[in-house]
Structure 1
Amino acid sequence: MASLQASSFLHSSAYSLPRLSRKRTITSIRDLPKTRASNIPLHDLQTGRLAEELEKARSYTSLKTTFVDKKYTKNDENYGSDSMVLEKLYAILEAVADRVEMHKNIGDQRDNWNSLLLTSINAITLAGATMSGIASTIAAGAAPVGALKICSTLLFIAATGMLCIMNKIQPSQLAEEQRNAARLFKQLQKEIETTIAIGEPTDRDVNEAMQKVLALDKAYPLPLLGVMLEKFPSNIEPAVWWPQQQRSGQVTSAHCNGWNAKLEKEMRSIVEVLRRKDKEEYLRLGGKALKLNKMLAVSGPLLTALAAIGSSFVGSPMPGGSWAAILGVVAGSLASVVNTLEHGAQVGMQFEMYRGNAGFFKLMEESIESNLIDNRRENGELFEMKVALQLGRSLSELRDIASSSSNRGGEVDEFASKLF
């Protein structure tokens, strides 16, 4: 009878424990004090000993799960400055995650702008050209001629205005900017998570994270009015999305922190190849894409404006009335071709892509140069591996191209990067 009461009491006490989440339950079961009901004497059950043991287990579980979730508690000796640094990093991490979603959503929206505006403007232009052609086949003075001329002219005028706006904001380039921003914010998010996972972050980590967030906000603004990046700059410059790197002082010894004279020479050779080959090549391609985009951006509205003028004189008794019809039809058709070439081929996006690639190589240059002369530099072996991964090469390939550059005075036929 007594064992049945004890079994019933154990059963009811087990169900009285608070429910925990799945994650906390796994942690708690692993770390619970080993209390077995079979080892507790019967008289202890009658005096409430079991209830005390269960209460102790419950208290231990609560403390364990609180420590796992927050890492630092008020009883921890590192609570205070370390805890505040963690809270700041988590606040920055939340802001970065929010920016990733914002740039992703706005990038999708602006990509839709490009598709919808391209389709709409081409439809309007071709409709205007069709009406202009039909009007030219109807005898002068007939009733439909005036209506067709007015509709055709209005359609061409509307297409001209929409094209001017579309060519000014370059939706495909805007979408590429937001894609780059989302990718870079994701990269920053992973960096902060790694810093937290490694442990012992400092105020310097917080300041660097803040500076990187602000630099990205400046490099890839979300609004269009007032702060939109110049779509047709006079000078081609690499994109810059990182803060100016602070240097702590000149390196006092080459043989420290995994660095040696051979590795420093190798990194200097890589910098020369990046500067003379990779970055210059993408700046050259960006310049060509920009010139083509400028020419197409001017030609499209100009052709639709000429088509509007020509369609307004279709069927008139004035000399050259037949040429007016030809101008309306041909200029309208050419405007559709030019618009498709500019925005369908996303020439603005290609320019931004080349500019971003040049910026990537400029960032690598600055990072390598900073580690060469900064007294607070990364471990040499780790840094060499990072450079090789960023360039899509193995360590042996990286050393080979550095050796080839050194032997030829910085002139090599091969690009440093094999990724793009």
Structure 2
Amino acid sequence: MAAIQSSSFLCSQRGITKAAINIPKVNLNSVALPKLKNARVFVQDVEVKRSHGYTRTITEKSAHACDPVVMEKLYAIMDAVADRVEMHKNICAQRANWNSLLLTSINTITLSAATMAGIAATSTIGCPVLALKVSSTLMYLAATGMLVIMNKIQPSQLAEEQRNATRLCKLLHNQIQTMIAIGNPTAHDVDEAMEKVLAIDKAFPLPLLGKMIEKFPSSVEPTVWWPKHKRGQAQGIQRSNGNGWSEKMEEEMREIVSVVNKNDKADYLRLGEKALKINKVMAVAGPLLTGLAAVGSAFVGSPSHGSWAAVLGVAAGALASVVNSLEHGGQVGMVVELYRSNAGFFKQMEEDIEFTLSETDVDRRENGELFEMKVALNLGRSLSELRDLATSSRRSKGDDFEEFGSKLF
């Protein structure tokens, strides 16, 4: 006891306090951890960063949830779609640069040639006049050739095609992600995803030679970027009580199809026809004016032709630059493609609704409540607004109903 007291006294003198804690030994082998019951599916979200900042989130599942071969195929399609997103995005930027660079170059050449023709018309010395005339004529001919090529390919329209393809590929990528997240994808889902990828490739081709979409068709048709509908397994959430469908909802969907077809799609096709006619006139007028300016500049200073050659060489060149600026600076080709794609959006909606309603077995349809919500979102309306639209169309009997179905665009 005296030894313990002396030890405590020495520790207190040094200002040190010691404490001893005895921890009982635990045998880890004897500890029973709780087991997770019915944990058949393990889900993990992985973010994979691709080039140019594009990110995709993959939902991985164990092989107990579905066929691993099906999952591997879906992931392969997702990788291909993500790569297409980058390709279309890069080519869109390239073709937008074509439009701006060619427009600037052609206008610069045209105005320079007009200036040379004007100077040559006011000069009286032989050699300088000849040099100016030759230079002006050659520049006009070069501008004519470049303008013919530019009007043929319509770079602004090509860029808009790639923008649409980028958006649709991103949408398809997200749809495949949702399919995997919901679970149990089948071989039918793989085939459907493949068909969608190939349909987008066909609607918006990457190469120019041999596969470029006709830029001056006889009439404007909606762009089609989806495969033909085929009967398959029911998609989406299914419930009892008619799978969310009723006779009233079917009538509402038919009224929506009627409104979209008669008003929205028809209006965009009409506007597309007008934009196409304007584009055709400008595509012919631009090279024609530069060609006439080249002829006029070649005869500048000739006594037998008077002053009309100088007027033609200068005025036609200036007018050609104005027409070229309106056509490609205003991106009339892009407007045509925009109207075509908008009409295609409504055509796709029309076909989806008609295909769903044509299925007599409601249990094989997509759930009615989910389908109605998708239609409302695509039209930029709430569910109540969508039903009011169908009711108003039914009351007017569809003859003089002028309200558009879409509030989105």
Q: TM-score, normalised by structure 2?
A: 0.83
C-alpha displacement at 1:39, in angstroms? Answer: 5.9
* Distance 1:255-1:282 versus aligned 2 partners, 3 A rule: farther
Is the contact between residue 95 and residue 156 of structure 2 (CA under 8 Å) also seen in structure 1? Answer: yes
Aligned to 1:405: 393
C-alpha displacement at 1:88, in angstroms? Answer: 0.5
Matched position secondary structure for 2:404: coil
Matches within 5 A, 1:366-405: 366-374=351-359, 375=361, 376-405=364-393
Matches within 5 A, 1:32-43: 40=25
C-alpha displacement at 1:142, in angstroms? Answer: 2.4
Q: Could you tell me the percent identity over the aligned residues?
A: 66
Which of 144, 153, 159 is the matching residue for 1:169? 153
C-alpha displacement at 1:189, in angstroms? Answer: 0.5
C-alpha displacement at 1:199, in angstroms? Answer: 1.2
1:331 paired to 2:320:
no
Is the contact between residue 313 and residue 321 of structure 1 (CA under 8 Å) also seen in structure 2? Answer: no
Distance 1:186 1:72 in 2: 22
Q: TM-score, normalised by structure 1?
A: 0.81
Matches within 5 A, 1:64-213: 68=44, 71=60, 77=64, 82-139=67-124, 141-213=125-197
Distance 2:326 2:105 in 1: 15
Which of 346, 358, 373 is the matching residue for 2:331? 346
Matched position secondary structure for 1:256: helix
The count of residues paired between Structure 1 and Structure 2 equals 356
Q: Which amino acid aligns with 1:393?
A: R
Is the contact between residue 88 and residue 166 of structure 2 (CA under 8 Å) also seen in structure 1? Answer: yes
Distance 1:267 1:39 in 2: 72
Matched position secondary structure for 1:259: coil
Q: Which amino acid aligns with 2:350?
A: E
Q: Which amino acid aligns with 1:270?
A: I
C-alpha displacement at 1:198, in angstroms? Answer: 1.1
Distance 1:77 1:348 in 2: 52
Distance 1:124 1:362 in 2: 44
Is the contact between residue 188 and residue 232 of structure 2 (CA under 8 Å) also seen in structure 1? Answer: no
Distance 1:195 1:67 in 2: 14
Q: Residues 336-372 of structure 1, C-alpha deviation per residue, up to 9 Å, x if partnerless?
A: 0000000000000000000000000000000111111
Q: Residues 254-312 of structure 1, C-alpha deviation per residue, up to 9 Å, x if partnerless?
A: 96210000000000000000110000000000000000000000000000000000000
**Gapped regions of structure 2 (runs ≥ 5):** 1-22, 34-41, 47-58, 234-239
Is the contact between residue 247 and residue 370 of structure 1 (CA under 8 Å) also seen in structure 2? Answer: no
Is the contact between residue 252 and residue 387 of structure 2 (CA under 8 Å) also seen in structure 1? Answer: yes
Is the contact between residue 72 and residue 83 of structure 1 (CA under 8 Å) also seen in structure 2? Answer: no
Is the contact between residue 255 and residue 261 of structure 1 (CA under 8 Å) also seen in structure 2? Answer: no
1:231 paired to 2:209:
no
* Distance 1:77-1:144 versus aligned 2 partners, 3 A rule: closer
Cα RMSD, aligned residues only: 2.3
* Distance 1:302-1:402 versus aligned 2 partners, 3 A rule: same
C-alpha displacement at 1:71, in angstroms? Answer: 4.7
Aligned to 1:415: 404
Distance 1:167 1:278 in 2: 29
C-alpha displacement at 1:98, in angstroms? Answer: 0.3
Greater per-residue helix proportion: 1
